[in-house]
Amino acid sequence: MSKPDVLAVAKLHPFYLQALSSLYTVHDRTHITDPAAFTDLAPRIMGVAGTGEASVPRSLLSQLPNAKVVSVFGVGYDGVDVAAAIEHGIPVTHTPDVLTDDVADLAMGLVLSVGRTIPQADQFVRAGQWPSGPMALGRKVSGARMGIVGLGRIGKAIAQRASGFGMSIAYTARSEKANSGFQFYPSAAELAANLDFLVVITPGGAGTKHLINADVLKALGPRGYLINVARGSVVDEEALIAALQNGTIAGAGLDVFAHEPNVPQALWTLSNVVLTPHMASATTETRQAMADLAFANMQAGISGQPLRTPVPECAALVQ
Ligand code: NAP
Ligand code: 8YV
């Protein structure tokens, strides 16, 4: 008997692809590479496998009459048209919680990297510059003020870590969190005006597009640092580059970008930024846990079992 067909809408992590391939025939982006063949294939597709950044538009979902689930390998699912998926009766799942620690760890790593100029120091030593004199001084992290944009699962884990560094914590989110113990500001600009490190960890998508704009960066000020581990779309990248170039802010640590994997050359050349390639959840342990959960969701969806972790918008669809 042939295996059920699954469509991969992005290049899948090997752990996820390997698990899927044990039960399903995985068609790697056939809708893009061979649209003619996809016309025949589409009615056989039982599940859609994606990543946090992958695009699953209405136009694709409407071609999949027998799809039972969209299983995203990632907690963010801003590339999926969830409203269209619900209309087509296709629940969407994601991988919350299993990556929270890693993303919070990387956020703190970027805070320490930009504040204490660790990558620059490494380059300084490797370039043989140490005998010629000391490096410029860094910015103390312990005891500094951190502001978090998005106090969800990962935002709270970042706050927990920052508290261990004796940092004071404030935040903004769509709503104030009762009993968080942290100061709430109703907007990113008001938050930014009152701290040293602004860490962004919201979902991407239309609701947060350019939430961090020129006004917020101005409020952050020449001694403030921006850390973005959310999505590139949340920050106005042009405004950020200008702010970094003209000293409106002190520096930035960036894991995500507007047009990945392409990073503007202007950022490569700036000495006050630390750049990482969207790797906040990229440890062996966490990628395995994400693959296990995404695979479990795919299996459950295709076999009609309860989904492990549907996205909140699909809760009603799976009851
Ligand atoms: P979560 O628990 O759903 O938390 C999201 C937080 O963002 C919530 O506090 C929410 O506020 C807030 N938020 C949403 N829209 C907002 C807006 N317009 N203005 C201000 N705050 C807003 O999600 P999570 O598990 O922490 O993950 C957060 C995001 O991190 C993901 O969606 C993904 O984009 C990103 N991420 C990136 C990586 C990476 O590799 N760099 C890895 C994993 C995740 P309320 O609580 O008030 O609703
Ligand atoms: C992954 C992510 O890097 O979970 C998310 O939202 O952005 C990351 O964990 C991504 O989903 C894998 O491509």
Residue with token string 């795919």: 298
Q: Is the pTM of this model over 0.95?
A: yes
CA of 199 to the centre of ligand 1 (A): 11
Backbone φ, ψ for residue 236 (5° rounding): -75, 100
- Determine whether 237 is an active site residue: no
pLDDT at residue 315 tops 90: no
Q: Domains of the chain: which residue ranges?
A: 5-96+285-314, 100-275
Ligand having the closest approach to the CA of 312: 1
**Mean pLDDT, residues 41-52:** 96
Q: Per-residue pLDDT for 52 more than 90?
A: no
- Asked whether 182 and 172 are in contact (CB, 8 A), the reply is no
Query: Quick one: pLDDT at residue 53?
Result: 85
Residue nearest to atom 35 of ligand 1 (CA): 230
Of 1.10.357.10, 3.40.50.720, 3.40.50.1820, 3.30.70.260, the CATH number of 100-275 is 3.40.50.720
145-189 pLDDT tens trace: 999 999 999 999 999 999 999 999 999 999 999 999 999 999 999
The per-residue pLDDT for range 197-256, each reduced to its tens digit, is: 999 999 999 999 999 999 999 999 999 999 999 999 999 999 999 999 999 999 999 999
Tell me what pLDDT residue 318 has. 77
CATH 3.40.50.720 fits 5-96+285-314, yes or no: yes
Residue 319 has pLDDT above 70, yes or no: no
Which atom of ligand 2 is nearest the CA belonging to 103? 9
What percent of the chain stands above pLDDT 70? 100
User: Which ligand lies nearest the alpha carbon of 73?
Assistant: 2
List, chain by chain if needed, residues with CB within 6 Å of any ligand 1 atom.
75-76, 96, 99, 103, 149-155, 172-175, 201-204, 207-208, 211, 229-231, 255-256, 278, 280-281
Angle between helices 14-23 and 284-303 (to 10 degrees): 30
Q: How do residues 253-271 score in pLDDT, each as one tens digit? A: 999 999 999 999 999 999 9
Average pLDDT along the chain: 97
Residue whose C-alpha is closest to residue 264's, from 227, 237, 236, 229: 237
231 counts as catalytic: yes
Side-chain-side CA neighbours of 221 within 13 Å: the count stands at 10
Which ligand is in closest contact with the Cα of 203? 1
> Which pLDDT value is given to residue 141?
98
Domains 5-96+285-314 and 100-275 share a fold: yes
Q: b/e map of 20-55 (b: 16 or more CB within 10 Å)?
A: beeebebbeebbeeeeeebeebbebbbbbbbbbbbe
From 13, 31, 94, 231, the catalytic residue: 231
Tens of pLDDT, residue by residue over 69-83, are: 999 999 999 999 999
pLDDT for residue 317 is more than 90: no
